[in-house]
Structure 1
């Protein structure tokens, strides 16, 4: 009898909390949000539909379809999504009064890192500490680290080359010797570890992302870097949308779902990877090693004076560097070659441009020779337009007094955002949005599109690492298309895509062989 009463009371509570109160609030409409169309029939009452779409990795795609009819959507009881490019400046611009949403504070650990800190003054302090490390001048001084990783991936690809593929044929499955998605990710992880922590992970030499994870008690084990990072992104980006219930849903998911329980375990291993990277670098710092990397910028300013950061903040910054500094660029690198192979005329144009500036002995494309190539940059930007690595509606929060967005007042403490995946498919700004057209970024027409390009977000909170991303993408893509030919399993082949906060793709098997030109024989 006691059990039945407890069950009844629990069901009654859940009914009131999840059904009755949301309906009352929807009818009361204290913020005036009921005028906006809903993403689903339930979105005005509950955040669960957004969690559902996130669980299946299709959130932005679903929002795109709904936005074809409506420039503003209500995606939760207290959340709006925009597709109108006019809203970019209002939400993300330098003069906006909107701040980082609750999303970020819920996902932060004991300390904020640069990407999730909410307070604007605290963000300014952090950005000042890191801005010198991410400056273009520093990055070009570290080009040799990117060149080193590029040489290693070329060596690995040389060893996996096959015979040339006759025109009009598809490759035999045994000749699909590389998973390009995996290799580009190994490249970006290895590069950011070297640039950020002066650590050689040897991922490209081993063809593996096996790495050490260290628990707080000192216990260590070997784990897969990409698997742990992916699991962490999957569970957090799914359950987070019900902010008030995030911790509860996390606990429940570990009990009712073996899949989520496994992913949460891998997410804990991700924390252990970060901890091990940070403590290993700290030990070298304590020994007095003078190393030129991001970690040094965390520890000391330009004059050598200590920044006196707490350890939790140091680990947080290492975490976002290893996360955002690897996965997004790896995604972009895999997508751009995929799109070039599906558009051979674009690949031919790119090769002509690259071949025109490189010498026969340029095994690795020098950044100084390729950084200003217009078509190369256009290919990268067009790829990130179509498949922005950070695809989700990066959420902001209106100030307590409210804000005006695209000419309409939005009440205070409301979550607002724009998905790069959605706005990059605005047909008025980007005609034929599903077509790969690098030429749209050339000349004055391309300059006019830049305000609507939000692959790195926008405004004062835009991605501080965009320069390093372009450095890695430019050098690697130029070097690879110069030296190799690639083939997909078939002309119509597409990777499996799944969205977390990033729009990631699954394995990308390819056949690879040497280009028949003198430049590849160095």
Structure 2
């Protein structure tokens, strides 16, 4: 019998196995319905059987937008065989509240490196340990100590804007194409990267001075290379957002996908990204071992407030530097771009905000500081904060529903029992477009955050998530957003290409925003 004749039965058997495992078995599981999830409407007719529909939806780059429309009819939607999405705002407390029995689900485990960082650690006691180590560094009282670093980066960004200033735009005219010479999206991202590197590591990346994001990465064998920070970071996140959903198969799919050019390019950039925090941690650790005592997050990472070493392993140090440079830059840059975009699309709101700033500031309040507005002068301005929060509501930098897993004993969500091990989530985008809480939810209306009515909306505000796992960097983000927006609006006016122009948005876990080219000119008398 020939080799070919022998191989045919094996091929048939393998084919039968594949059909059975990937088609027949999921259908049987669906109809057995041991978890009782068939009572919920499916996102797609096959969503209860396979995660493929959700992966296809992810590739469209508007996952949460699609779910938001479905949730207008259904408070709970089944997005996968073992996953539920909630649109009822009461579920936020059940899933993310301080006393929730939920833990982070398997997506955080399969995308973690050799060590967990603060954002992806799953075990609650381990998270509490990490948060205790870093909470002192992130406390509000440290804002004053960081402000000079934020002011320095704001000044460097504005130095570039000064060079790009053009003549004022005539009324009812559109900018000439050559006058659209500042990509606000890119430069605010240079700002957040430079700022978090300085705040976190006392590192001067110098992106604002260089005008590009070319940095050095380090391989495990010590060799170094150059790469573009933003491209590596965002394409790594994009690939994960497309492929992570079948958790048990993620590592296999992630590797095998590299033979396809579309994914292969993202895979190469993902590998380059891994070396960036290694290099930054390496450089800062050398300074620490040389005896430098610096006022940054890294110092708090290495020692407690009494100067006793925390004895972290190298992998854990790299992991914390990685999330610091990732979450500490990406979401705030998205927020900065979004708020100026919304203000330019709503000129009457822009005028009201500028009037508030001008009324609160004296002529020399910013001129004595290279044009940078002091945080202390503007941090309590109500309309400024409302404009920031409304932009964060309308397009939360992380629109994705952060998945949590129900505990071993199961739990009640919205009064319904959900069995153990089910992934449950509330998308910030979905929550923020809930018309019951946010009337005219698609409109930019800062006044909705005014007074007692605004306070009543805070439990439904998920821009920084909620509960014990909420974003620890919230105060830093507000500091940076407030100083930058107040400073640039005091000094400049901006214009988009046209009133109809729309920014490109692609959803990963965060938004991937397209370029936002603007015309910039100095305000009269400024």
| TM-score normalised to structure 2 length | 0.97
How far 1:216 sits from its partner (Å)? Answer: 0.9
SS in 2 for 1:325: helix
How far 1:169 sits from its partner (Å)? Answer: 1.1
Which of the residues 481, 484, 500 maps onto 1:492? 500
After superposition, what is the alpha-carbon deviation per residue over 1:229-259, rounded to whole angstroms, capped at 9, x for unaligned? 011100112111101110111122012x112
Matched, 1:205 2:213: no
Equivalent-residue separation in structure 2 for 1:386 and 1:279 (angstroms): 39
Matched, 1:334 2:334: no
Which of the residues 150, 155, 160 maps onto 1:156? 160
How far 1:65 sits from its partner (Å)? Answer: 1.6
1:403-482 matches, cutoff 5 A: 403-482=411-490
Corresponding residue pairs, total: 517
Which position in structure 2 is the counterpart of 1:373? 381
Distance of aligned partners of 1:353 and 1:246 in 2 relative to their CA distance in 1, 3 Å threshold: same
Which of the residues 58, 62, 84 maps onto 1:54? 58
Which of the residues 105, 116, 119 maps onto 2:109? 105
Which is further off, 59-68 or 225-234? Answer: 59-68
How far 1:359 sits from its partner (Å)? Answer: 2.1
Which position in structure 2 is the counterpart of 1:18? 22
How far 1:167 sits from its partner (Å)? Answer: 1.1
Which is further off, 49-58 or 332-341? Answer: 49-58
SS in 1 for 2:39: coil
1:112-261 matches, cutoff 5 A: 112-255=116-259, 257-261=260-264
Whether the aligned pair in 2 keeps the contact of 1:389 and 1:504 (CA below 8 Å) is: no
Whether the aligned pair in 1 keeps the contact of 2:339 and 2:387 (CA below 8 Å) is: yes
After superposition, what is the alpha-carbon deviation per residue over 1:159-215, rounded to whole angstroms, capped at 9, x for unaligned? 011111111111111111011100110100100000000011110111111100111
Equivalent-residue separation in structure 1 for 2:298 and 2:13 (angstroms): 53
SS in 1 for 2:54: helix
Matched, 1:31 2:39: no
How far 1:58 sits from its partner (Å)? Answer: 1.5
Whether the aligned pair in 1 keeps the contact of 2:234 and 2:512 (CA below 8 Å) is: no
SS in 1 for 2:142: helix
How far 1:396 sits from its partner (Å)? Answer: 0.3
Equivalent-residue separation in structure 1 for 2:10 and 2:493 (angstroms): 66
Equivalent-residue separation in structure 2 for 1:333 and 1:59 (angstroms): 22
Distance of aligned partners of 1:287 and 1:425 in 2 relative to their CA distance in 1, 3 Å threshold: same
SS in 2 for 1:326: helix
Equivalent-residue separation in structure 1 for 2:169 and 2:300 (angstroms): 48
SS in 2 for 1:390: coil
How far 1:43 sits from its partner (Å)? Answer: 0.4
After superposition, what is the alpha-carbon deviation per residue over 1:118-144, rounded to whole angstroms, capped at 9, x for unaligned? 111111100000000000111221100
| TM-score normalised to structure 1 length | 0.98
Which position in structure 2 is the counterpart of 1:286? 289
How far 1:10 sits from its partner (Å)? Answer: 3.5
Runs of 5+ unmatched residues, structure 2:
none
Which of the residues 503, 515, 522 maps onto 1:514? 522
Provide the aligned C-alpha RMSD in A: 1.0
Distance of aligned partners of 1:168 and 1:307 in 2 relative to their CA distance in 1, 3 Å threshold: same
Which position in structure 2 is the counterpart of 1:309? 312
Which position in structure 2 is the counterpart of 1:298? 301
Equivalent-residue separation in structure 1 for 2:149 and 2:298 (angstroms): 15
SS in 1 for 2:69: helix
Which of the residues 271, 276, 280 maps onto 2:279? 276
Equivalent-residue separation in structure 1 for 2:93 and 2:438 (angstroms): 18
Which is further off, 51-60 or 438-447? Answer: 51-60
How far 1:4 sits from its partner (Å)? Answer: 4.5
Runs of 5+ unmatched residues, structure 1:
none
Equivalent-residue separation in structure 2 for 1:275 and 1:10 (angstroms): 42
How far 1:332 sits from its partner (Å)? Answer: 0.3
